Amino acid sequence: MVNVLFVCLGNICRSPTAEGVFRDLVRREGLDAVIKTDSAGTSGWHIGAPPDGRAREAARRRGIDLSDLRGRQTRAEDFNDFDYLLAMDRRNHAALAQLAPQGREDRLHMFLSFAPQLSLTEVPDPYYGAGDGFEQVLDMIEAASRGLLDHIRATDLAR
């Protein structure tokens, strides 16, 4: 089993979108018995909340359903429970690095490091921006999800 956690600030825009996109890809490739997904926010601002309506709508237009997801906050135990912790931006990465038990830091990655062809480091926060931010976020997330799944296939599932 490979456990994957997507992390942003609020857990209502970027990380639930990433969870939904990656989960859909995993299902379509028939790997949902071996790869488990979740998402969380480094803040506690939206605990128990569904994803932002704009994120749900943008995902729905690409055939992705986020309606079952609910916000939760990251915790230190996530570094024991998940093999991959994927930060959407540097601020999330720094907050997770603070939380990581010693020896577990290698589980933490910038999500876009799995889409090097984009030449981007961060998935920008779409919460306060114009509506098209959600489309750009989805494009980045689709690319990094593909790269992450290829990486997991090559490293974790190749045995």
The verdict on 58 binding ligand 4NP (CB under 6 A) reads no
Give 3's strand partners: 36
CA-wise closest residue to 110 among 1, 12, 17, 7: 7
The verdict on 20 binding ligand 4NP (CB under 6 A) reads no
Q: Residue 65 or residue 150: which is nearer to ligand 4NP going by CB?
A: 65
Question: Could you tell me if 9 and 42 are in contact, meaning their C-beta atoms sit under 8 angstroms apart?
Answer: yes
| Catalytic residue flag (residue 14) | yes
The verdict on 24 binding ligand 4NP (CB under 6 A) reads no
The verdict on 64 binding ligand 4NP (CB under 6 A) reads no
Q: Which residue is nearest to ligand 4NP (CB)?
A: 10
Q: Which of 24, 52, 78, 125 is the catalytic position? A: 125
The footprint of ligand 4NP on this chain (CB under 6 A) covers a number of residues equal to: 10
Question: Could you tell me if 86 and 37 are in contact, meaning their C-beta atoms sit under 8 angstroms apart?
Answer: no
State the minimum distance, in angstroms, from the CB of residue 121 to ligand 4NP.
16
Tokens linked to 92: 């999330």
For 82-102, the three-class secondary structure string (H helix, E strand, C coil) is CCEEEECCHHHHHHHHHHCCC
Backbone angles phi, psi at 6, to 5 degrees: -95, 135
Q: Which range touches ligand 4NP (CB under 6 A), out of 4-12, 31-39, 100-108, 150-158?
A: 4-12
CA-wise closest residue to 95 among 43, 18, 24, 54: 43
Q: Which of 13, 14, 23, 38 is the catalytic position? A: 14
Footprint on this chain of ligand 4NP (rule: CB under 6 A): 8-14, 45, 125, 127
